[in-house]
Chains A and B, each alone.
Chain A
């Protein structure tokens, strides 16, 4: 069924894509096309294709909707993959998400009365339907998915697939049906067999992500060179409201999804996990060694005798996973950390892990602008790092206040441990991706481990 001629071109195309994770030698080991969504003899013939690859030695599965045309199209050349023979005819194959007409075919399954083939399901939540022929726009480059805006919907096509329910769909569906105001509602999803191929949510036209919003505040702070609370771009009100939104989402997730309580053994296991990650990072990155003893001591302070309530959490919570809209903060992307295996992404954990993620993100954003501009201080008499730290402190406190964080000792200790763990992970990440930024988590480790007890 699948055509062999397209494979080398397909491998080459995948290798060029930002959403394709591997950079080594790619071999396409199998292509499983789903049924045609449009008549294959028409232009364009469109179908999803599930592509299995070997990336070096690692297998992976990708979602590659393709469009087949009888004539080459100059204006679509960006998404051109190669030529293929289908039913004895030469067809020109394009990435369907870069072909506006093909996109319309992909989306038409969300219309009222649509009858997609048997091997694919377009699920719609109550009240959602795309208008027939609604125009659609491809959003700019994204890290791991490809998104299309159609009407009021944002349809996110997952690229790398994992069998089983995508946690983003699972969590957002539960929260949407419960009427949560603090997320961007789910509208529908596309599934085939064991794979979730895409999800549709409400497009937040007025939104800006939290990272950019916070950075506007940090820029103003640098220019004003005053304490954060006096700066025109003060962010504390936003941080407090973000804390409140986070609490609301955590509470709903606790009501709607599985929960448990961690006893002594679970906490021992947690400490072991934390130590294991630390050991791995120390082995690869000697810069962290100076902090290893302090980190272990902080992990060891976790009180195993106090049970910890655990639940489904966001799992990869940072400012980039939040949207500031004209109707307040929305929390998005409940996929967990995309690089982790599914079982880790849906593991029950303390919501403090999310809080730690946001505290780290607030620290990152404050120190990211000097890291970007390379200018440490505009005025040598101003200690800019101290001003940034003041901003971080003020906004971390405001965020925790908005969340209603319980400052009991075991909670503070656990939160601190998660923060250290996150910072350790960040050192490893930056060493691989942005060595210029390594100073940010290292500096944070110094503060987290050197600082006195309590916050």
Chain B
């Protein structure tokens, strides 16, 4: 296999550890055909923008044929492209164009279940003895696996649904239109692996694995995180590593970090399941810390986060298309967050309702910059959500998840430059309110203004990419005298970054014990300003409200420039 493929350097198997990810919803990014729906050709047009922004890897949520009852996560065909988005050829062109720019692409794979419209399910219900008869979890009764919780209490009464065709119940962990695949059946393994191969052969750089804890069921358990589920993931990993080295598996396991680490696999071999897992609790903790003006919500969760195997990495995010519900990560016995949330109506609302970053932060640029600085400097690879880099708003009247899936705002022109269609034809309306509307918030205007959030975000991404400490370095919480200031060191060999964040609206001082770096000189990263050298005494810094610093700690030798 060639080391270089397109514009990619495939020799760096750990590329994902320092990559900046960007989640983009194809249907809402750019409509090239003028039919009102974003498409793959439109996305390809905008690759120059993503390259300019500094994105290393694009994550595409499901774009497969689907009845779209669950945002495309109800897949009706694993190896095709939904017709309104494009064709397989369009995908190949997009992928090659991305690689030519050095941008990788990962796509979503839903392993646990399919749509009830998938031909496998249709065959399984009509021909129980045929090749697909055992592809799903069928039962004569609806009483098995009674210990499994029902995730969608509002819409589903049971995890079993009666199928009038086959005259049996089928198992579904999620919606009743999403029957669970039967991983007891080796043929399901083969079918899933060949679906992965289909995309890997086209050059896809990895997969986000949706809802991985639920693949197997076992009587008398919650049927989450079962040993056989892990065995299957190891099998997937071995298969991918053998035939397609350098590709990445990113697990969505909406669990506590101490349980999620199991999805990295065996630490002794550097991890043999998923390369990456999302770190879910860190996001609400950031919001809670800023609301409480206290570093403890963040510090505590990072302290409770186990170290990951050598070739693994957390994925962290502020927002994505599909928020966590706190019920899934909270355990009162070991965590106090539930208590804090339950008594604060505003926090509950913010987490429960799907909102974008900017409206959650009252459109306060200082807070948006602070949140982004945290996202780009805390341990893990940051996953940006399209539109947040310009501070896009949301439309709460669209309901459920659509409110945060409105079209990307490119220009102040018709349909925000997203589509040439008649505005009424757009699959989702563009944001038009006076604060967040596309006339006020758009890429074109922000690219033209050097002080915009977009330009600032881009500069921060570039700083991050120049320092391996962020992606690959260790993390040390420095504590310090002030409870409202979160300070930490990221250290990768000689590359030492000091990050200091004021979580409070008020100006704050902080004294940091940096005596181990006595003689080093902090250099502020956005302006290159040299701060006073570190001595034995506590290092005093003052920060404006919501202010933050990224410093590089230069050792005494390299701090003296050529002019001396």
Contacts and interface: CB of A to CB of B under 8 A. Distances in A.
Residue from A229, A230, A237 with most neighbouring chain B CB atoms (10 Å): A237
Contacts of A234: 292, 340, 343-344
Contacts of A324: 296, 483
A240 to B, nearest CB: 8
7 contacts: A100-B536, A140-B538, A212-B482, A219-B504, A220-B505, A233-B294, A237-B339
Contacts of B505: 220, 223
Given A216-B484, A233-B293, A237-B343, A135 B515 contact: yes
Interface in A227-242: 229-230, 232-234, 236-237, 240-241
Contacts of B129: none
B344 A206 contact: no
Contacts of B296: 324, 326
B513 interface: yes
B284 to A, nearest CB: 14
Contacts of A230: 345-346
A213 interface: yes
A241 B505 CA distance: 25
B506 A219 contact: yes
Tell which of B478, B479, B536 has the most Cβ of chain A within 10 Å. Answer: B479
Contact of B294 (A205, A216, A229): A216
Interface string B477-506: 111111110000000000000000000111
B299 interface: yes
Contacts of B506: 219, 223
Contact of B343 (A220, A223, A236): A236
Interface residues of A, number: 29
Contacts of B484: 216
Among B336, B483, B504, B506, which residue has the most Cβ atoms of chain A within 10 A?
Answer: B483
Given A229-B343, A326-B303, A208 B481 contact: yes
Interface in B494-536: 504-506, 511, 513, 515-516, 536
B485 to A, nearest CB: 9
Contacts of A240: 339
Contact of B477 (A219, A233, A236, A326): A326
Contact of B483 (A205, A208, A223, A241): A208
Contacts of A241: 336
A299 B346 CA distance: 44
A327 interface: yes
Contacts of B482: 208, 212
Contacts of A219: 293, 504, 506
Contacts of A448: none
Given A208-B479, A212-B483, A324-B483, A233 B538 contact: no
Nearest to A212: B483
A224 B343 CA distance: 17
B293 A137 contact: no
A137 B336 contact: no
Given A213-B483, A233-B292, A241-B336, A137 B343 contact: no
A137 B513 CA distance: 9
A272 B35 CA distance: 89
The SS class assigned to the B binding surface is: loop
Contacts of B481: 208, 212
B300 interface: yes
B291 interface: yes
Given A237-B336, A241-B336, A137 B536 contact: yes
A219 B336 CA distance: 23
A207 interface: yes
A153 interface: no
Contacts of B504: 216, 219-220
Contacts of A207: 479
A149 interface: yes
A204 B480 CA distance: 10
Contacts of B513: 137, 149, 205
A349 B140 CA distance: 69
- Which 4 pairs across A and B sit closest by C-beta, in order of nearness? A206-B479, A208-B483, A232-B291, A326-B303
Given A206-B477, A220-B292, 4 more contacts: A140-B537, A208-B483, A219-B504, A230-B346
Contacts of B538: 140
Given A135-B515, A216-B504, A206 B483 contact: no
B299 A206 contact: yes
A204 B477 CA distance: 12
Nearest to B298: A326
Contacts of B345: 230
A326 B336 CA distance: 12
Nearest to A208: B483
A232 B484 CA distance: 13
User: Which of A140, A216, A233, A327 has the most C-beta atoms of chain B within 10 angstroms of its own C-beta?
Assistant: A216
A208 B303 CA distance: 16
Contacts of B536: 100, 137
A233 B292 CA distance: 4
Nearest to A240: B339
A149 B536 CA distance: 12
Contacts of B291: 232-233
B293 A220 contact: yes
B516 to A, nearest CB: 8
Contacts of B516: 135
Interface string B460-484: 0000000000000000011111111
Contacts of A135: 515-516
A223 B504 CA distance: 11
A232 B346 CA distance: 9
A237 B513 CA distance: 29
A219 B508 CA distance: 12
A442 to B, nearest CB: 28
* Among A212, A213, A240: residue with most chain B CB under 10 A: A213
Contact of B293 (A100, A232, A236): A232
